Structure 1
């Protein structure tokens, strides 16, 4: 089943046993999903982890199931739209606050962690436009919480005076 699966170098480790033998250890491999209902009543399924099911090209144009394994793990992230804010919650166990890098351009949020022991990466399209300058973030016990202020739904038309 796993023949032909290429693993990133950081996920395969070798260690010597006292009797002179060698053991290959692989991992960690993380895959999961969260399920919730959207405001329109439709189900929302979000995947997270560093293993993604995919289809690779086989002979004669056929596709065969495979697994894509990445060095960085995609954290579980949830975005909740509230009346005047968007609350984003991300699970980032095993890192320090100073290891987390956040970028937001108003519509997209990028979360990165790159340490010797852990790597996380998530690019999230926000459900509404926000003002990154007024955002607040906190990190405690492996949980990152962001509160982003929503931009007004639309700019009101302004009259232009003719000189």
Structure 2
């Protein structure tokens, strides 16, 4: 009887040999993503980044937000899409964005209608993201800070334009 060689405990994955293969084989989105990754031609110094964040929105429903430079259409974009948190407060909207390695002089912010647009023009680190805001904001009073690669934008909410109606 041949004696089986003892292997490293993690030679087989924790959930059995085929857990992840079965898990991802049934998900068309993962299959499409891996097919796209195989068709791209990212070279040295041009990393491919893809990820997603799942949070619970104020309405209690889950929100899935994608980030990175690999898009569903396939291929690698020149600009990455940063990870964003949007906090809808009583008097202000707070947008927090991860922009590692970005210098202030390459950062461009614009607020128009109910959208905040962020663009980084550093040739080595390009980011772009447009965030739809939950309400109109006072664009003249927006404040932004960049510290240790974290951009925080505070946008005071505009007062409602409607008029209260008295009920008799």
Mark yes or no: TM-score above 0.5.
yes
TM-score by structure 1 length? 0.73
After superposition, the C-alpha distances for 1:58-80 in whole angstroms (9 at most, x for unaligned) are: xxxxxxxxx33101000111111
Q: Point out the structure with the larger helix share.
A: 2
Q: 1:147 and 2:166 equivalent?
A: no
Match of 2:51 in 1: 32
Once residues 40 and 33 of structure 1 are traced to their aligned partners in structure 2, the CA distance between those partners, rounded to angstroms, is 20
Match of 1:132 in 2: 139
Match of 1:117 in 2: 124
Aligned residues: 131
RMSD in angstroms over aligned alpha carbons? Answer: 2.2
Aligned-pair CA distance for 1:154? 3.1
Name the larger-Rg structure: 2
- Shift in alpha-carbon separation, 1:155–1:33, aligned structure 2, 3 A: same
Counterparts of 1:1-163 in structure 2, within 5 Å, are 1=35, 5-7=39-41, 11-12=42-43, 25=44, 27-54=46-73, 67-156=74-163
Aligned-pair CA distance for 1:41? 1.1
Aligned-pair CA distance for 1:90? 0.5
Unaligned runs of 5+ in 2: 1-34
TM-score by structure 2 length? 0.71
After superposition, the C-alpha distances for 1:30-83 in whole angstroms (9 at most, x for unaligned) are: 1111111111111001000001234xxxxxxxxxxxx33101000111111101
Unaligned runs of 5+ in 1: 13-24, 55-66, 158-163
Moved over 6 A (4+): none
Once residues 105 and 91 of structure 2 are traced to their aligned partners in structure 1, the CA distance between those partners, rounded to angstroms, is 28
After superposition, the C-alpha distances for 1:64-122 in whole angstroms (9 at most, x for unaligned) are: xxx33101000111111101000000000011011100000131111000112110000
Q: Point out the structure with the larger strand share.
A: 1
